Amino acid sequence: MFVCGTDRKWIDTPFFRTKFLISSDKQINTLKEYCQTVSIDTGKGIDVDKPAETDIIDSGGSAATEMRSRAEENDSAYPVNCIVELQTGELAVVVQGHSQVPQSPLVKVITNPQKQLLFQERLLDLANEQQNQIKIVRVLASDEPIIELLKMFVELEKT
């Protein structure tokens, strides 16, 4: 089954995208827990044959290059601007995804392991070989209390 919409925002569910393929009963049960209405695309899914692949003609133009780079940006496992918790206990904001390593985006670390805001945020490329020891543990839901506190501190810094 291919889900193409729900009654909740993607950030309020444990799924990382608004449109995604359901391939197990566990995912269906999780979807039932979080959503009351779901829109599905009957033309897509694991029970539907995939269309034959066609060759892409590369015109070499800037439009083709721009479309390709946008598609690669959207291929990340973690959406840009979502807040994630690293295995070190630090919180970070996803700045940019990696098309080759979708599970290892470029993040901006915003708190220390004790969840205190950093005065100097630092960029961390999780796809970098020296830094790939650090992994993302989870994506924080938008209704978690720590998110509200972070928003309040950001607003205070602006004034």
For position 111, what pLDDT does the model report? 87
C-beta of residue 38 within 8 angstroms of C-beta of residue 28: no
Task: Check whether 62 has a pLDDT greater than 70.
Answer: no
Top-confidence residue, 84 or 98: 84
User: What mean pLDDT, rounded, does the chain reach?
Assistant: 74
pLDDT for the residue 60:
54
Which one is predicted more confidently, 72 or 84?
A: 84
CA-based nearest residue to 99, from 72, 127, 120: 72
For the chain, what are the domain ranges?
2-41, 83-158
